Amino acid sequence: MKELLEGIKKNSNGASKHDAALEKESNLLIRDAIFVRHDGSLVKVKFQDVLWLKGDGNYTTLVARDFVISVRNILKDFEEALPQKEFMRIHKSYIVRLDEIISINPREVKVGEDLVPVGRSYYQNLIDGIKKLGSD
């Protein structure tokens, strides 16, 4: 994922063979979706289908409307790739889609049928993000 993001950010002038490969991989991140590796193939996951993500070391569990997959990427990679207006980190190990939140309290949010913990230091940012969502 880091390589994918670097490929997007890099200028193509004077690109080496490795840089060209990174540029080719950058096609995995498109306007409204991202392709993730799962069971040896690439699976397209639309941002609108993602409910929340949980980071656990080098792996991230992606919970979508119709499926749950575990991907070998750190949560920070997804945080950088997902649209910041739609997704927010609410805990050191969790990112949620703001418009899918059903209820909020200082300890957790309800997203669909799931309860996702909120870190103490992230709560005020979450409230501010919800306010921004309402004003857009």
Every domain of the chain and the residues it spans:
47-135
In this structure, which amino acid lies at residue 133?
L
Q: What is the pTM of this model?
A: 0.77
Q: Which residues contact 16 (CB under 8 A, 6 or more apart)?
A: none
Q: Which residues contact 32 (CB under 8 A, 6 or more apart)?
A: 46, 47, 48
Query: Mean pLDDT across the stretch 22-41?
Result: 70
Query: The domain 47-135 belongs to what CATH superfamily?
Result: LytTr DNA-binding domain (2.40.50.1020)
**Beta strands per DSSP E along 23-98:** 29-30, 33-38, 41-46, 50-56, 59-64, 68-71, 87-91, 94-97
Confidence (pLDDT) at 77: 92
pLDDT, tens digit (0-9, with 9 covering 90-100), for 86-112: 999 999 999 999 999 999 999 999 999
Query: Of the candidates 25, 109, 36, 26, which has an alpha carbon nearest to the alpha carbon of residue 69?
Result: 36
**Three-state SS at 124:** helix
